[in-house]
A = this chain, B = another copy of it.
């Protein structure tokens, strides 16, 4: 990991508003950010702290401030220590060493507003926006980026409001709009874009992926990125599937099984929620191969795994003369530690794009997502090249 220029004196601070701010990914992000700044650990997993991206005029790590919403009120240090219990991946010593940083971020966390039955969703949006405004003020006018890290939702109930900005406004104002039409991820995305705050959807929930919100983002000149962070098994697929394509090997089936035990896993054990995730995970391979092999993607909740995650993929393919061959991959990682560095990268890169006046879906960030908005590219190497070229480091 090559030398990077010291960026600590550069630029004004950057506020990162996290939806799901006390969850495992958010907590790991904040612990890691503080540990890197304090020199306790090297910046493993961060492209923005390595050559060549660290040469770009990014907001410095040192100036990042975290705030956010959560339905829970558990203290951040407690959230962090829970990730180290029972052989969990978080290093308790590091978490304790950054307790002061966590306490400071915690001051800026707010309880997530919930839409009361029979009230317009607009009220929730306005409460979100007030909290965002307060956060900006507290950061002395620093730029803000919102990142959605909350639990995966079921897909929204289809509605015309998703396709048309005017109908979306009407739906927000109506007291009787079905909550399933406007789940929280949409309200947060709307609140951010409407307020001119760049938005990153790290989850497979709808978020800003609606055509109506893409239109709004373009109208307001706001950048956004998503969706569904590419952290583990899908990352692997998008590194490996190109090999079969490049070598003209014929993939017959590609099946993937995932087990994990954290809150994300628990949410996904609801089949109506899981469909959002497995649909997102199933896109990469057919897109890269150009044809659709037999395929299965499953995510199962195994509580004893905690924040650890194991994926197993079995790939059956034909070689020369139709010879049957196969490969298996076992991937064992920590769910949150795979996601957290991408959060820091995405906050800084989305902010950079906003600074540069880019708006709408940021296709050059496809490298970070399972279901990239603004890009059809799933091949990891090509996404990487696209990222570097777009930022100006290619």
Contact = CB atoms under 8 A, between A and B. Distances in A.
B87 A324 contact: yes
Which one of A42, A321, A328 has the greatest number of beta carbons of chain B within 10 Å?
A321
A215 interface: no
A314 B316 CA distance: 18
B337 A331 contact: no
Given A314-B310, A328-B312, A332-B327, A320 B340 contact: yes
Interface string A323-337: 111111111111001
A318 interface: yes
Nearest to A331: B327
A394 B277 CA distance: 35
Interface stretch (A10-18, A27-35, A169-177, A184-192): A27-35
A375 B324 CA distance: 32
A65 to B, nearest CB: 20
Contacts of A300: 255, 296, 298
Which one of A31, A93, A318 has the greatest number of beta carbons of chain B within 10 Å?
A318
A337 B316 contact: no
A116 B47 CA distance: 58
A259 B341 CA distance: 30
A157 interface: no
Contacts of A294: 261, 302-305
Q: Is the interface of A mostly helix, strand, loop or mixed?
A: mixed
Given A320-B340, A329-B328, A331-B327, A381 B87 contact: no
Contacts of A243: 235-236, 239, 380
Contacts of A379: 381
28 contacts: A32-B320, A42-B322, A44-B249, A44-B319, A45-B319, A47-B248, A49-B248, A50-B248, A90-B321, A91-B322, A94-B321, A235-B247, A246-B384, A253-B259, A261-B294, A294-B305, A296-B300, A296-B302, A305-B316, A314-B330, A319-B333, A321-B340, A323-B333, A323-B337, A327-B329, A327-B330, A327-B332, A329-B330
B293 A304 contact: yes
A143 B394 CA distance: 41
A53 to B, nearest CB: 10
Q: How many copies does the complex hold?
A: 4
B322 A44 contact: yes
Interface of A: 1, 28, 31-32, 35, 41-47, 49-50, 87, 89-94, 235-236, 239-240, 242-243, 246-250, 252-253, 255, 257, 259, 261, 293-294, 296, 298, 300, 302-305, 310, 312, 314, 316, 318-334, 337-338, 340-341, 367, 379-382, 384
Which one of A323, A337, A367 has the greatest number of beta carbons of chain B within 10 Å?
A323
Contacts of A381: 242, 246, 379, 381-382
Contacts of A259: 253, 255, 296, 314
A278 to B, nearest CB: 12
Contact of A257 (B252, B261, B298): B298
Contacts of A31: 321
Across the A-B interface, the 10 shortest Cβ-Cβ residue pairs: A381-B381, A239-B243, A252-B304, A323-B337, A325-B333, A45-B320, A87-B324, A320-B337, A257-B257, A320-B341
